[in-house]
Chain A
Amino acid sequence: MNRSLFVPQRMEIVKVTDEVATHDIFTFELAPLGGGIAPYLPGQFAELSVFGAGEAPFGYASSPHETGTVRFTVKRMGALTRELHRLGPGAVVGMRGPLGNPFPLDRFEGRDLIVVGGGYAFTTLRSLIATLLTDKHRKRAGRITLFYGVRHPGLFLYKGELDRWRTAKELSLHLTVDAADETWKGPVKLVPDLVRDTAPATENAVAVVCGPPAMIRFTLPVLETLGVGEENILISMERKMKCGVGMCGRCNLGPRFVCKDGPVFTLKELRELTDDY
């Protein structure tokens, strides 16, 4: 009998990267101890365990073509993440995943993609973009327009990678901050305003939105005004989760569960399901 649904895979931390100026967001690179890495796709998530502190869900920050290890970017926020942030290379944590459904990569074929991210929720979008820039997907995707905003310049995740993306010909990168410092030469505005002012072409576009609730709330009408239909706006939802498989009962949006039916929903679906998105 399978007794392993709630028993996580043991993973060794092989690298910890301090991502931001506030030193409260770390990327953990994990290698399996016994067994391989279960196949996953961008948009899916895993429950990470710190034994003694519990378990919480995090989206994969790594991309499936980056084999051998997986990465998760975690902000220090509550009891579990505080314990996780104390761990370094060699420590063993637990992982249950992948859980949930990935971004519908098939739907992106031949379409332009507008990606809108804010804050540390960008981690899942990093996995998506890195995947779409691989040889396998690059030829089939249209143009990618990426909007990414943070409160101040020191808070951008994956800075080295953002520098490389700046010159990638498949992708046009638009970064913004709420408040600038002396190093910042880009726009100082909120993400929804940046999307509105940039006004990417929407005739053949699918939009993906992932970020804090306020950013999502104000970005959606901008995308609709620009001409992206509600069935072509995809939102990666976050909710408190425990089981990750549709049993524990807390992450529902109406009759559906973010964990097993999401976390990716279209705006059309969300409007039918709930008032809170």
Chain B
Amino acid sequence: MTRTNTSDRSWTLPAGALPDLLAALAATCELWTPRPVGGGTRFLPHGEDRPLDLAQTPPAHSVKAVLFPNPETLFTYRRNGNDVALTPPEPDGRSLIVFGARACDARAVAALDAVFLGRSIPDPAYLERRERLCLVGLACVSPAATCFCHRMGSGPFDASGMDVQIVPLDDIYVFHLLTKRGEACLAPFRDRFEAADGDTLKKVAATKAGLEGAEPSVDFTALKDAVKQHRDDPYWETLAAACLGCGICTFLCPVCSCFSITDTGNRRGGRRVRYWDACMFPAFTKEASGHNPRGDEPARVKQRFFHKFYYSIENGEPPGCVGCGRCVIHCPAGIDIREIVSRFQPEAAS
């Protein structure tokens, strides 16, 4: 939670002053804000073209798209006679501010870090953005019915992974500065804020207290041990019978980060790009010979949940689910990850 509640690290901003603050940040930083596209809010480069949407909870699309863009150019190639020139993209030197991320998405960054920074060589493009990242999070004051972050060891006011946490009160925003990076990003705009007084901090504490007391967290080690015992459970076939294999769960998941790599262009020139891929697709593992180690739907459904609740934990990485509920909302077959968690750890559902 917040590291300190002294007022020199808790500032208030009148709600009406937010647009000007964002415009000022966008002038010097790479700023991403949640804004509606169709019916779903996603993080976009800040602009006046669409209104800010801090209400949709959670935003339909997660912060994943900012740190792990889809698609992303790894390098361009241009043929010159027999030889070929390879040019990686230029890094961006500006701070990268993501504004309005919820606790679930902020926690998911740790899981993305494990994949992109936790291997023998860090992913250079991810690292470059991660080093510039200032995550300005937003406490959830009205979680959705599908939210289950409490069960995944978090809560709507969890600030882990955030550099700044904003708590919306009636007509003000309270900005809690949690890290040096958060302070550095907002320090140039200090005169737009006022120090939070004791009454304001009491209101924040009361709001937070009102959202606690939900379901307890699962024991991830016990869950892993239970899931691990069910490699041959016919349950996976039952789930697979309903699953359409559309992959929406993986694309909207803030943690799922599987990708493919391909060339776009022709033999003379083009780009090598990576793009989001999904374990739910048969071609994900299909080899050129035709052999497919996960050629049937039950194997793919099992892979998704095993990765989230068994492999991640076994490898000492953060759990593969942060309880955002996006897959619950959008699965066309009504597959509910909360039921899967309950099945393997029924005692935690009480």
Contact indicator A51/B120 (Cβ below 8 Å): no
Which of chain A's residues have a CB closer than 8 A to the CB of B75?
A: 6-7
Asked, given contacts A92-B84, A250-B279, A254-B311, whether A242 binds B288 with beta carbons under 8 Å apart, the answer is no
The number of A-B residue pairs with CB atoms under 8 Å apart is 133
A contact patch SS: loop
For residue A51, which residue of chain B has the nearest CB?
A: B77
Which of chain A's residues have a CB closer than 8 A to the CB of B82?
A: 12, 90-92
How many Å lie between the Cα of A249 and that of B68 in the bound state? 14
Which of chain A's residues have a CB closer than 8 A to the CB of B284?
A: 240, 250
- Taken residue by residue from 60 to 95, chain B's Cβ proximity to chain A (1 for < 8 Å, 0 otherwise) reads as 000000000000001101010011101010010000
- Taken residue by residue from 271 to 288, chain B's Cβ proximity to chain A (1 for < 8 Å, 0 otherwise) reads as 010100101000011111
A243 interface residue, CB < 8 Å from B? yes
- From the candidates A5, A77, A242, name the one contacting B124 in the complex (CB within 8 A): A5
Contact indicator B121/A245 (Cβ below 8 Å): yes
Which of chain A's residues have a CB closer than 8 A to the CB of B291?
A: 213
For residue B284, which residue of chain A has the nearest CB?
A: A250
Contact indicator A248/B124 (Cβ below 8 Å): no
Which of chain B's residues have a CB closer than 8 A to the CB of A274?
A: 293
A81 interface residue, CB < 8 Å from B? yes
Q: Closest CB-CB distance, A263 to chain B, in whole Å?
A: 13
- Taken residue by residue from 105 to 117, chain B's Cβ proximity to chain A (1 for < 8 Å, 0 otherwise) reads as 0000000000110
Cβ < 8 Å to A, chain B residues 101-133: 115-116, 119-125, 127-128
Which of chain B's residues have a CB closer than 8 A to the CB of A213?
A: 291
For residue B72, which residue of chain A has the nearest CB?
A: A6
For residue A214, which residue of chain B has the nearest CB?
A: B291
For residue A76, which residue of chain B has the nearest CB?
A: B288
For residue B126, which residue of chain A has the nearest CB?
A: A247
Contact indicator B83/A248 (Cβ below 8 Å): no
A185 interface residue, CB < 8 Å from B? no
Asked, given contacts A1-B128, A10-B83, whether A249 binds B287 with beta carbons under 8 Å apart, the answer is no
For residue A77, which residue of chain B has the nearest CB?
A: B288
- Taken residue by residue from 1 to 38, chain A's Cβ proximity to chain B (1 for < 8 Å, 0 otherwise) reads as 11111111010100000000000000000000100000
Which segment of B41-49, B175-183, B207-215, B259-267 sits at the interface?
B259-267
Q: Closest CB-CB distance, B67 to chain A, in whole Å?
A: 13
For residue B262, which residue of chain A has the nearest CB?
A: A54
B229 interface residue, CB < 8 Å from A? no
Contact indicator A4/B262 (Cβ below 8 Å): no
* Interface size range of chain B in the complex: 35 or more
How many Å lie between the Cα of A231 and that of B307 in the bound state? 26
For residue B85, which residue of chain A has the nearest CB?
A: A10
Contact indicator B260/A242 (Cβ below 8 Å): yes
B310 interface residue, CB < 8 Å from A? yes
What count of chain A residues pass the 8 Å CB interface test? 47
A112 interface residue, CB < 8 Å from B? no
Contact indicator A51/B259 (Cβ below 8 Å): no
- From the candidates A6, A212, A276, name the one contacting B293 in the complex (CB within 8 A): A276
A52 interface residue, CB < 8 Å from B? yes
How many Å lie between the Cα of A78 and that of B88 in the bound state? 27
How many Å lie between the Cα of A6 and that of B73 in the bound state? 10
How many Å lie between the Cα of A248 and that of B314 in the bound state? 18
Q: Closest CB-CB distance, A98 to chain B, in whole Å?
A: 12
Q: Closest CB-CB distance, B180 to chain A, in whole Å?
A: 21
How many Å lie between the Cα of A246 and that of B82 in the bound state? 32
- From the candidates A4, A5, A239, name the one contacting B285 in the complex (CB within 8 A): A239
- From the candidates A51, A81, A260, A275, name the one contacting B84 in the complex (CB within 8 A): A51
How many Å lie between the Cα of A90 and that of B83 in the bound state? 9
Q: Closest CB-CB distance, B173 to chain A, in whole Å?
A: 35
Q: Closest CB-CB distance, A150 to chain B, in whole Å?
A: 15
How many Å lie between the Cα of A255 and that of B308 in the bound state? 10
Contact indicator A3/B124 (Cβ below 8 Å): yes
- From the candidates A1, A242, A251, A252, name the one contacting B259 in the complex (CB within 8 A): A242
Contact indicator A7/B261 (Cβ below 8 Å): no
- 16 A/B residue pairs, CB under 8 Å, sorted by A: A5-B123, A6-B261, A6-B272, A7-B86, A51-B79, A52-B263, A55-B261, A92-B82, A240-B287, A242-B260, A245-B119, A246-B120, A247-B115, A249-B259, A249-B279, A255-B315
Identify the 7 closest CB pairs spanning chains A and B, nearest first.
A249-B258, A78-B288, A255-B311, A77-B288, A52-B267, A6-B74, A255-B314
* Residues on A facing B (Cβ under 8 Å): 1-8, 10, 12, 33, 49, 51-56, 77-78, 80-81, 90-92, 94, 212-213, 238-240, 242-243, 245-252, 254-255, 260, 274-276
Given contacts A3-B124, A6-B274, 14 further A-B contacts (CB under 8 A): A3-B125, A7-B86, A12-B82, A51-B79, A92-B82, A240-B287, A240-B288, A242-B260, A242-B261, A247-B259, A248-B258, A254-B311, A260-B120, A275-B231
